[in-house]
């Protein structure tokens, strides 16, 4: 009887535990569903509107130095209205045409109403489109857009900076066509805000000419600033920085998501463009497989996040993009600046000093970037240069940080 009673008590206890676990799990799942529904509701309704933006110039009163320095960055210069100042290519005779064949050419011409790309067939003008928008800071090159009513189209000729010449636009090799529509997703990475007039299912999409904030400026990373500026104007002594986002106070993943919006490869959006704002979770707006992919499959252009995430440095630390990049400064080609940031972790104190330092010496303080982040040809961005039978790829610095033996050997050879 004692054995039976003990067995019975054991059964009762196990049953009670099982029921408790079931009820607890059910409660947790219901809570998760409630939170998920709340999150979905917030995501649906918080997309910014035109009147919430102030424009970066409005920030200059209180943040003069930062404002002025950011005007020189590639981010800020990534789009602008087309003008003699913003278009880099030449309109001088002999330097202003791209010849496709003996019969077909496109000539860049300055006319009374602006700058144009003009297609000629056997010397007869067949089509002309005005330069309306410049896309690209010019670091690698520029592409150009034309307004057709309320829709934007890419033009067939771009400017390739490293060759200092006009070229056929990427994806257009050998063709002089003016009918590639620009989507809101394109503009999402080359501007701070564009007011859409049509549903994204419409092709081409329609946009408001007068409601565009060109370039990637303050409000792309800090969120719309009109409410912040209004509050600070009324309360000039309040230093709490209300109604604005400080990215440095965001979590690591929020910081990474902010950059991955445009540097995370081909993202498939699940919500309207320009819905994502600083501080949001990228996965609530896009389907992406950036992290975890084989680095060899990631192109050097457009998916810097994917390459960085595959790097040992990234995996062994809490680094983000801003660990190396100051978004307020134009640091292009300042290899010594980046090298010094690398040495913040890679030093004797952290037991991570470069093994080549005894051979290289102080040179490593000036440039460890070319060894561990060399420039590589892009597989996705290539232009057709004048007279070349094959497209020329754009060279971009890889963000897959690792040892590249061939690059190291070049450095050693240079020291001999």
**For residue 207, what pLDDT band results from cuts at 50, 70 and 90?**
very high
Q: Which tens digit of pLDDT belongs to each residue from 188-203?
A: 999 999 999 998 889 9
- For the cut 70, the answer to whether the pLDDT of residue 341 exceeds it is yes
pLDDT recorded at residue 296: 83
pLDDT band at 416 (very low <50, low <70, confident <90, very high): low
The pLDDT of 71-80, averaged and rounded, is 97
Tens digit of pLDDT for each residue in 134-168?
999 999 999 999 999 999 999 999 999 999 999 99
Distance, CA of 287 to CA of 146 (rounded, Å): 30
CB within 8 Å of 304: residues ≥ 6 apart:
259, 263, 321, 399
- What does the angle CA 281 – CA 285 – CA 286 come to, to the nearest 5 degrees? 105
HSE, side-chain direction, 13 A CA sphere, residue 136: 18
CA pair distance 206, 214, nearest whole angstrom: 17
Least-confidence region, from 21-25, 219-223, 328-332: 21-25
Q: How confident is the model at residue 32 (pLDDT cuts 50, 70, 90)?
A: very low
CA 184 to chain centre: 14
pLDDT for 295: 83
Residue 402 to residues 302, 342, 369, 398, Cα–Cα distance (Å): 19, 12, 10, 10
Q: What is the dihedral of CA 175, 149, 160, 168, to 10 degrees?
A: 0
Average model confidence (pLDDT) for the chain? 87
Q: Determine what percent of the chain is predicted with pLDDT higher than 70.
A: 87
pLDDT (average), residues 271-288: 93
* Backbone φ and ψ of 196, nearest 5°: -85, 145
Residue 323, both tokens: 């660990």
Q: Where are the domains of the chain?
A: 76-216
pLDDT tens per residue, range 313-336: 999 999 999 999 999 999 998 999
């Amino acid at each position: 009887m004692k054995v039976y009673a003990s067995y019975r008590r054991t059964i009762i206890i196990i049953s009670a535990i099982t029921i408790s676990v079931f009820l607890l799990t059910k409660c947790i799942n219901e809570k998760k569903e409630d939170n998920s529904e709340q999150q979905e509701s917030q995501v649906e309704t918080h997309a910014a509107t035109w009147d919430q933006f102030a424009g970066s110039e409005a920030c200059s009163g209180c943040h003069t130095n930062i404002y002025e320095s950011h005007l020189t960055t590639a981010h800020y210069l990534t789009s602008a209205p087309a003008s003699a100042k913003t278009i880099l290519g030449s309109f001088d005779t002999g330097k202003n045409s791209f010849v496709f064949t003996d019969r077909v050419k496109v000539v860049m011409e300055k006319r009374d109403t602006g700058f144009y790309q003009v297609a000629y067939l056997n010397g007869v003008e067949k089509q002309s489109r005005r330069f309306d928008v410049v896309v690209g800071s010019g670091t690698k090159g520029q592409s150009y857009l034309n307004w057709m009513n309320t829709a934007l189209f890419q033009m067939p000729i771009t400017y390739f900076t490293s060759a200092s010449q006009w070229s056929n636009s990427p994806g257009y090799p050998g063709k002089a066509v003016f009918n590639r529509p620009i989507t809101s997703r394109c503009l999402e990475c080359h501007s701070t805000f564009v007011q859409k007039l049509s549903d994204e299912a419409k092709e081409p999409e329609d946009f408001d000419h007068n409601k565009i904030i060109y370039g990637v400026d303050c409000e792309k990373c800090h969120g719309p600033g009109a409410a912040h500026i209004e509050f600070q104007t009324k309360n000039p002594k309040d230093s709490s920085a209300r109604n604005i986002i400080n990215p440095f106070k965001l979590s690591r993943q929020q910081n990474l998501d902010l950059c991955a919006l445009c540097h995370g490869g081909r993202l498939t959006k699940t919500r309207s463009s320009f819905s994502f704002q600083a501080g949001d979770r990228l996965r609530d707006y896009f389907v992406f497989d950036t992290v975890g992919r084989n680095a060899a499959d990631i192109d050097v252009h457009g998916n810097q996040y994917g390459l960085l995430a595959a790097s040992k440095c990234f995996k062994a630390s809490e680094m983000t993009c801003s660990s190396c990049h100051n978004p307020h400064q134009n640091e292009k080609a300042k290899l010594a600046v980046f090298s010094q940031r690398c040495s913040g972790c890679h030093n004797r104190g952290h037991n991570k000093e470069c093994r080549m330092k005894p051979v290289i010496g102080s040179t490593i303080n000036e440039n460890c970037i070319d060894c561990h982040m060399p420039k590589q040809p892009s597989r996705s961005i290539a232009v057709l240069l004048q007279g070349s039978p094959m497209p020329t790829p754009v060279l971009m610095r890889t963000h897959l940080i690792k040892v590249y033996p061939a690059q190291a050997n070049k450095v050693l050879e240079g020291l001999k």
